[in-house]
Structure formats: structure tokens, C-alpha cells
């Protein structure tokens, strides 16, 4: 499942090469951070969790056998961390709806935002875009844990059904049906609010 280049990288990672680890982080840190932010809805939590994901990768790289791609293996670690953190936060009752407001904070998006339109949006457009961003993020955050993970991996991270199956351990058919239910639930939550 892994490419020759990836196998070389894994060999170096298993030898604990700092340069290989830096290269791995440069490649995956933003996708993993973005995925965790969309799952958790809080920038600080997502950053802390993303750091823990890469620490786990560093510690457990010896257990990577190359049966899946390195990317799906890292995503699996990230989704496990995410599930555990959510459980922990729910137990501690630390996590609340305020975290959704993070996404409307201009500074939170700040320089960390990529892929924006080259045209500078007008203030009203920006405000509207941020409001829409907040609504969608809130709708995602209110999905069931399982549905949220599938939507984030498919519609935000653009992974294939097969990759999502490897990450979640679900058969492709279950991934498809779960994605459908998740999207329909989102549609119900956002109906009338989308332009």
C-alpha cells in the first residue's frame, strides 16, 4: 500500500531521524490540524491534540507495517486521539458550546488560513462568510461523533471511501450510508440558512 518513497521515509523514521520526522510533519501537520479543528471546533484543543498525534507517530512508528498508507495510519491515530479527547472533555465538562465561536474570530483564522480567494472580500461579504462558517461548523459539531468523522474525512479532507474505511475500520458500504445520513442531517440543520 505504500510507495517506495514512503517506505524510505518510514525506514528513516524508524531509525528516529530528526530530518525525516520534520519532513513528515511539514507534510501532514496542516491536514491533521485542520481535521482536528473541524472535529473539535476549538483551535487550542486542536493544536494540542495535533501535537499529541505526532508524538504518538514518533513513539509508535515501529508498529507501522505498511498495510495501509502512512497518511491513513496518521489519520487513524488522529481520529483515535480525537475520540478519546472528546470523551475526556465530556467527562470533565470542560468542553462547551463557546468553542464554536472560535471559528468566527478573525484572529483565529488569521494567517493560518489557506486557499482563500485572491480577491479581497468586502467587509459585508467577510462578515457573511464568517457567519456562514460559524453556522456550518456548529452544524458539524452537533452531528453524532461517527457521522462527524465521516463528513470531515470525506467532505473536508477529500479522502476516498476506501481511505475512510481504513481509518475507521468500517466497510465501504457502511461509510457510504453513514456519510449519507450525516449529509442529510447537515442539510436539515442548515436548511433555510444557505444561500
Partner 1 sequence: MDHDRARDLFTQYHEEDLSDAELAELEEHLAECDECREEWETYRKTIDGVSGLFELAAPEDFTRSVEQKIRKRSRGRFFGDQRPKSMQFAVVSFILILLFILAYLVMTAATEIIILDESQDKETSQEATAPEKGEAGK
Residues that bind partner 1 in the complex, under the rule CB under 8 A = 16, 18, 21-22, 25-26, 29-30, 32-34, 37-38, 43, 47, 50-51, 54-55, 58, 109, 111-116, 132-133, 136-137, 140, 151, 155-156, 176, 179-180, 183-184, 186-187, 190-191, 194-195
Query: Shortest approach of partner 1 to residue 87 CB, angstroms?
Result: 22
Which CB sits closer to partner 1, 26 or 119? 26
Which CB sits closer to partner 1, 10 or 139? 139
Contact 35, 164 (CB under 8 A): no
- Distance CA(119)–CA(129), nearest Å, equals 14
Which CB sits closer to partner 1, 114 or 120? 114
Query: Shortest approach of partner 1 to residue 15 CB, angstroms?
Result: 12
Contact 12, 77 (CB under 8 A): no
Contact 11, 25 (CB under 8 A): no
Query: Shortest approach of partner 1 to residue 71 CB, angstroms?
Result: 15
CA distances from 6 to 15, 37, 79, 133 (A): 14, 26, 21, 35
Three cell numbers, residue 15: 531509525
In the block, cell 519532513 appears at 23
Query: Shortest approach of partner 1 to residue 113 CB, angstroms?
Result: 5
Which CB sits closer to partner 1, 99 or 137? 137
Contact 89, 95 (CB under 8 A): yes
Contact 81, 53 (CB under 8 A): yes
Which CB sits closer to partner 1, 18 or 67? 18
* Closest of 120, 145, 140, 144 to residue 186, by C-alpha: 140
Query: Shortest approach of partner 1 to residue 93 CB, angstroms?
Result: 26
Amino acid at each position: 500500500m505504500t510507495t517506495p518513497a514512503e517506505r524510505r521515509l518510514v525506514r528513516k523514521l524508524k531509525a528516529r531521524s530528526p530530518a525525516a520526522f520534520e519532513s513528515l510533519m511539514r507534510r501532514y501537520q496542516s491536514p491533521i490540524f485542520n481535521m482536528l479543528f473541524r472535529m473539535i471546533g476549538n483551535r487550542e484543543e486542536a493544536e494540542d491534540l495535533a501535537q499529541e498525534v505526532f508524538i504518538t507517530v514518533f513513539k509508535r512508528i515501529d508498529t507501522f507495517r505498511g498495510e495501509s498508507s502512512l497518511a491513513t495510519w496518521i489519520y487513524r491515530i488522529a481520529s483515535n486521539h480525537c475520540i478519546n479527547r472528546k470523551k475526556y472533555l465530556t467527562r470533565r465538562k470542560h468542553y462547551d458550546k463557546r468553542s464554536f465561536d472560535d471559528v468566527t474570530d478573525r484572529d483565529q483564522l488569521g494567517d493560518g488560513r489557506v486557499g482563500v480567494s485572491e480577491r479581497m472580500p468586502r467587509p459585508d461579504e467577510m462578515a457573511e462568510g464568517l457567519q456562514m462558517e460559524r453556522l456550518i461548523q456548529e452544524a458539524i459539531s452537533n452531528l453524532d461523533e461517527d457521522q462527524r468523522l465521516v463528513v470531515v474525512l470525506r467532505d473536508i479532507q477529500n479522502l476516498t471511501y476506501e481511505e475512510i474505511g481504513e481509518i475507521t475500520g468500517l466497510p465501504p458500504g457502511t461509510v457510504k450510508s453513514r456519510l449519507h445520513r450525516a449529509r442529510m442531517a447537515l442539510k436539515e440543520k442548515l436548511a433555510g440558512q444557505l444561500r
